[in-house]
Structure 1
Amino acid sequence: MKSPLKSKPLNNPGESLEYRRNDIALERVFLPLIVAILMFVWAAFEWYRWLHVIPPNPYITTVLALGVIMWAAVRMTRAFKEIKLINQGILSEKAVGQFLERLRADGAEVFHDIQGESFNLDHVVIHRTGVYVVETKSLKKPESGKTELFFNGKEVLKEGKPLPRNPVVQVSAASVWLRQLIEESSGRRVSVKGIVTFPGWYIRSNHNTPKNLVWVLNPKAIPSFISKQSEILAVEDVNLLKFHLGKYIRASKLF
């Protein structure tokens, strides 16, 4: 039977994280759980035989069962922690995606979860004011105190200390990759601005200016920042870039 769809649908926010979460759940939660249950049933059966039917020695199976159950418990505990972090990331990406979707009313094209070779771009916005890569960072809030980050133009600081795995470097590399992809596919050379966003955090900075190649913003501020920039793309250019980027996403879609 032939699919009624002419082309694959585009990705949703956090889609690759959802695939990763499901893989972890299957491989490191359900599989160890099934093995642990089987070992428990085996040990219980041996004890039943020993008590009621014939006197086999259940100690070996009990030791094996306990070993497997402990192994499963360790793997499952680690998996649950990782799944919790991934779920937090999924929710953050979806929240950011909802803010970005508002830009469609202003003529923007918005894409989510674009796959690279060994990485992904959380969101891409093509607007009359330019092309933007948006990287979502889900950062836990403290129980009390300020939820404030400082962007000095090169890195993001929390309580005076730079965040690990500098997100500014990460989004800069993503911007270069997207610029090259657009140039190779459409023949158009356009500048790509990177945006790092932290849901739930207040960003303090004097470097979120038009001349900076990277901004660090709260998600709520992104639509207004993008809309207020000078227009550099015609509507035809937006549609052209939309076509080529959409074509790439559908070609690279795994499912």
Structure 2
Amino acid sequence: MSQFLMQLLAVAICLAGMLAVLIPLFVMIKYRDKTVKIPIDREQLQRLPGFGLQREIRDRQFDLLGNMSMSICIVSIPFAYFAVLAFLKTHNFPTLIVIFVVIGTLWCSWRTVKVFKHLTRLRLGHTAELATAAELLQLQAKGYQVFHDIQADNFNIDHLVVGPNGVFAVETKGRHKRLSERNNKHGLRSHECIYVDNQLRFPKWSETKPLEQAVRQAKWVSQWLSSSTMFDVTAKPVLVLPGWYIKLKSKPPFPIVNHKQLAKMLANFGNDRLTPEQINAICWQVAQRCIQGPEDKK
């Protein structure tokens, strides 16, 4: 092997760990961008307090992590290069080191794919909740109280709305839109979702769990507030699918809406008539839970 090829191979081996992360990440990003998209444009969402600062904090955190990783590479790679080059010249690579490097790079690649998938779901869910929260701001001008991310018993309530016409447990579900029209099981357009026979039908798949989850969480809210306030409180479930056009082929047991329909729908939905005293009692309990967290962690 020529000196140049040996040096090139030594550099490739030294960079193998970095490439084990960057290559799968590049492939996953390209695949995601060609197959799915977030149904909401983040740049068109109404900004919540601290949105710009939150984004800048996140960027600076990535800068710190990048600087730390770069400093480690700057210090370690030159030494690693000469060590690898020495092994290549002697044709005597320690077997255990080779096994460790191969297994380690494969593990890093697998972890990169797994974390990227999870991060993609989190980003979608975060965007969907931001879209819902932005629409709920309209209700505050009408005297409604809106709470977000209430920690319950091993789960959370995305949004809780309290007003004169009742209490609403709002569950937000983010779902990617598929860019390809292949395997369209229900003859729907890419932005359409149908509710029929207690089932959500998207262009390429069907779901029932979001419906069950919304009912289960509203039931928990009802039990919690009833026991905390000492009067009967019935929280109504609401399911929000931001960015999707909802078609109702049968009557749902509770509202299933796009985020842009949410504020208007909640203001005109529900038969409860809560007094100002009841609203204050409910809001006090919710505010205390938002501060203290779930009761089992006290």
Looking at structure 1, the residues matched to 173 and 87 of structure 2 have their Cα atoms a distance apart, in angstroms, of 57
Distance 1:176 1:75, change over 3 A: same
Identity %: 24
Equivalenced residues, count: 221
Q: Which aligned segments of 4 or more residues in structure 1 are displaced greater than 3 angstroms?
A: 37-46, 48-52, 159-162
Looking at structure 1, the residues matched to 127 and 120 of structure 2 have their Cα atoms a distance apart, in angstroms, of 11
Distance 1:40 1:75, change over 3 A: farther
Q: Which structure features the higher share of helix residues?
A: 2
Which residue is equivalent to 1:154? Answer: 198
Q: CA deviation at 1:132?
A: 0.5
Residue identity matched to 2:84: W
Which residue is equivalent to 1:192? Answer: 235
Looking at structure 2, the residues matched to 190 and 153 of structure 1 have their Cα atoms a distance apart, in angstroms, of 28
Matched, 1:57 2:68: no
Looking at structure 1, the residues matched to 205 and 123 of structure 2 have their Cα atoms a distance apart, in angstroms, of 26
1:245 is matched with which residue: 258, 280, 286? Answer: 286
Which residue is equivalent to 1:219? Answer: 259
Task: Tell me the SS of whatever aligns to 2:277.
Answer: helix
TM-score scaled by length of structure 1: 0.74
Looking at structure 2, the residues matched to 146 and 122 of structure 1 have their Cα atoms a distance apart, in angstroms, of 26
Looking at structure 2, the residues matched to 153 and 219 of structure 1 have their Cα atoms a distance apart, in angstroms, of 22
Looking at structure 1, the residues matched to 104 and 205 of structure 2 have their Cα atoms a distance apart, in angstroms, of 42
1:47 is matched with which residue: 77, 84, 101? Answer: 84
Q: CA deviation at 1:87?
A: 0.8
Q: CA deviation at 1:43?
A: 5.8
Give the alignment of 1:1-255 within 5 angstroms. 44-50=81-87, 57-60=92-95, 61-143=97-179, 145-152=189-196, 154-159=198-203, 162-163=206-207, 165-205=208-248, 207=251, 212=253, 214-229=254-269, 230=271, 232-252=273-293
Q: Which has the greater radius of gyration? A: 2
Where does the alignment leave 5 or more consecutive residues of structure 2 unmatched? 1-47, 59-65, 182-188
Superposition CA RMSD, Å: 3.4
Residue identity matched to 1:202: Y
Q: Decide which moves more: 108-117 or 136-145.
A: 136-145
Distance 1:110 1:41, change over 3 A: farther
Residue identity matched to 1:155: Q
Task: Tell me the SS of whatever aligns to 1:106.
Answer: coil
Conserved 8 A contact 1:40-1:65: no
TM-score scaled by length of structure 2: 0.64
Post-superposition CA distance 1:184-210 (Å, at most 9, x none): 2111211111011111111112536xx
Q: CA deviation at 1:157?
A: 2.2
Distance 1:50 1:231, change over 3 A: closer
Residue identity matched to 1:111: F
Task: Tell me the SS of whatever aligns to 1:154.
Answer: coil
Distance 1:231 1:172, change over 3 A: closer
Task: Tell me the SS of whatever aligns to 2:98.
Answer: helix
Where does the alignment leave 5 or more consecutive residues of structure 1 unmatched? 1-11, 23-29
